[in-house]
Amino acid sequence: MTTDVKQIYLDYQATTPVDERVLEAMLPYFSDKCGNAASRNHKFGWDAEKATQSARETIASGLNAKAREIAFTSGATESNNLAILGVAKMYAAKGKHLITCSTEHKAVLDPMAALQNEGYEVTVLDVDSNGHVDLNELRNAIREDTVLVSLMMANNEIGTIHPVKAIGDICHDNGVLFHTDATQAVGKELIDVQEMNIDLLSGSAHKMYGPKGVGFLYVRRRNPRVRLEPIFHGGGHERGIRSGTLNVPGIVGMAKAFDICLAERDEDHQRISALRDSLQTQLAAELTHLSINGDENNRLACSLNISFAFVEGESMLMGMSGIAVSSGSACTSASLEPSYVLRAMGVGDDLAHSSIRFSLGRFTTQQEVNRAAELTISTVKRLRDMSPLYEMALEGIDLATVSWGTH
Amino acid sequence: MAYSDKVIDHYENPRNVGSLDKESSDVGTGVVGAPECGDVMKLQVQIEEGVIIDAKFKTFGCGSAIASSSLATEWLKGKTVEEATAIRNVDIVEELALPPVKIHCSVLAEDAIKQAISDYESKQNND
Ligand SMILES: Cc1ncc(COP(=O)(O)O)c(C=O)c1O
């Protein structure tokens, strides 16, 4: 396919490019400052330790936490596993019940499923059409033997932001630990672990213009002091929670990335949400039968998930070549099922197959948005002209009443 | 996913997109698949004295589904009904170099051909 045409990247929720300032901060730690942060008897080690300590402080202060409450990991998948498995195992004597919801990332749902196989009980809360859990349902789901509630801060497919403070308060009032997978929110949304009553929080560098393969887990040390059973056993790094030589350049990069996000947050937020709104407005002006997936009033600034009725996602991606976006259609992934997140929100499988996630970021320009809108519009129009479903809809046939053959 | 050049060609320049009058006695219509499964194909043939003189399609589905139905219409034109019913999904798979995960697209196209012809035949029997 064409590679000479300039590619437009609108998949920032999948991952972000490393900011040049981040790369620059990291580079010395690959070579000149090559020390192992656990080496206690020479300058190389001390410098590495100092750099990771400073990174810990940066990250902690951005969350209103303490440096010693931050453990470095290989990314949010590991952080989620460590939080969920670590709490479940440590508190097994207290109880073996956990609560989560149906739209969580697989890095939460799969460790929960693994625990179920080991005899734990997991309540998976449903969500409404905007992707929100019912707080009363959450309250009612908490039992005597509940040890952990894990609910994400912002959803990776639809951008819906959960009312984390309200959730934290419920957990706190009921003496249950609260973990939030904040991978999509760190650096974008204001986070205060004290005010929000968060006990554990997962983050990942590569969603905030840092490198891939590094993340962190915030673990509350006071009121209450959260204890974790480690997954990795080894040198006892990270206060025994996570053994393994620290990824010093990665950690330095993550802290720098977070620092930049915090400093430029308002500006980024404003510009990116304006671009996102521009994209949405342009599409809505030219195309009928669109539906926005996610909570339009409480959504990440970067996120736009739309179902384009009567056209299938993969065929859209083919038409929009040169624009990097994601689709909720099964045809784009290894599984045969369309997005489980959209399904959980009650979006029909037909519209799930027709969904595209655009996600914008720091380096997105108005020209790119205009180009993406233009290509999306022409592709959808072209594909609708060859869609039997669009034809039927124009004829006034209600597709829901048609009896389709099976195949 | 990498597409074969032929799939891309059919996707970008689909042959015979459109609709024939489904009420007409010399037109047979096949609609297969389901929106929830991500593919729906509508394939129509117009038949005169046992020969397919026109074929049209409309498809909701991935690039491979569009290409499979586009190719089917191309092949159908000029064929006798007998020759048309002999088209097998494996012929489509081979021609378009479809990967295993896309074989169902070719199966749908074969089903659509069969359904269109049987729709035409049932119209003839009713006359
Ligand atoms: C909400 C959410 N949780 C967890 C992850 C996994 O993060 P990582 O790639 O750092 O393992 C991602 C990213 O794909 C995510 O979006």
Q: pLDDT for B40-83, tens place per residue? A: 999 999 999 999 999 999 999 999 999 999 999 999 999 999 99
Residues of chain A with CATH 3.40.640.10: 20-260
Q: How many other C-beta atoms lie within 10 A of the C-beta of residue A178?
A: 26
Per CATH, which fold does B5-121 belong to? Answer: Sufe protein. Chain: A (3.90.1010)
Residue nearest ligand 1's atom 7 by CA: A76
Per CATH, which fold does A20-260 belong to? Answer: Aspartate Aminotransferase; domain 2 (3.40.640)
pLDDT score for B36:
87
Closest Cα partner for A85 from A115, A130, A49? A115
- pLDDT bin (cut points 50, 70, 90) of residue A331 is low
Assess whether pLDDT exceeds 70 at residue A14.
yes
Tokens of A354: 């027709």
Tokens of A392: 């039927």
Q: How many other C-beta atoms lie within 10 A of the C-beta of residue A334?
A: 6
* Mean of pLDDT values over B14-25: 95
pLDDT score for A1:
41
Task: With CB atoms and an 8 Å threshold, state whether A318 touches B108.
Answer: no
Assess whether pLDDT exceeds 90 at residue B114.
yes
Cα–Cα distance, A245 to A385 (Å, whole number): 57
- A329 at B interface, C-beta within 8 A: yes
User: Are A356 and A325 contacting, i.e. CB atoms less than 8 angstroms apart?
Assistant: yes
User: Are A361 and A351 contacting, i.e. CB atoms less than 8 angstroms apart?
Assistant: no
Assess whether pLDDT exceeds 80 at residue A282.
yes
Task: Please give the share of chain A, as a percent, with pLDDT higher than 90.
Answer: 90
Residues of chain A with CATH 3.90.1150.10: 8-12+265-388
> Is residue A211 in contact with ligand 1, taking CB distance under 6 Å?
no
Q: How far is the CA of A205 from the centre of ligand 1 (A)?
A: 10
| Better-predicted residue by pLDDT, A364 or A406 | A364
User: Which residues of B make CB contacts under 8 Å with A?
Assistant: 1, 3, 8, 11, 14, 17, 19, 31-42, 57-63, 65-66, 104, 107-108, 111
Helices (H), A64-159: 76-90, 106-117, 135-141
Assess whether pLDDT exceeds 80 at residue B126.
no
| Shortest-distance atom of ligand 1 to CA A213 | 10
Give how far B18 is from chain A: nearest CA, Å. Answer: 7
Cα–Cα distance, A313 to B62 (Å, whole number): 7
Task: With CB atoms and an 8 Å threshold, state whether B11 touches A315.
Answer: yes
pLDDT score for A402:
84
pLDDT tens-digit series, residues A40-56:
999 999 999 999 999 99
- pLDDT bin (cut points 50, 70, 90) of residue B2 is confident
| Shortest-distance atom of ligand 1 to CA A79 | 11
Q: How far is the CA of A105 from the centre of ligand 1 (A)?
A: 7
Closest Cα partner for A338 from A354, A319, A324, A325? A354
Give how far B32 is from chain A: nearest CA, Å. Answer: 6
pLDDT tens-digit series, residues A213-225:
999 999 999 999 9
Strand partners of residue A202:
A181, A217
Cα–Cα distance, A220 to A197 (Å, whole number): 10
pLDDT score for A337:
73
Task: With CB atoms and an 8 Å threshold, state whether B17 touches A386.
Answer: yes
Tokens of B90: 């494996």
- pLDDT bin (cut points 50, 70, 90) of residue A328 is confident
Q: Where are the domains of chain B?
A: 5-121
- pLDDT bin (cut points 50, 70, 90) of residue A2 is very low
Type of residue at A154: A
Residue nearest ligand 1's atom 16 by CA: A156
Q: How far is the CA of A194 from the centre of ligand 1 (A)?
A: 23
CATH number of the domain at A8-12+265-388, please?
A: 3.90.1150.10
pLDDT score for A291:
96
Cα–Cα distance, B47 to B50 (Å, whole number): 6
For strand B27-34 and strand A355-359, is the pairing parallel, antiparallel, or unpaired?
unpaired
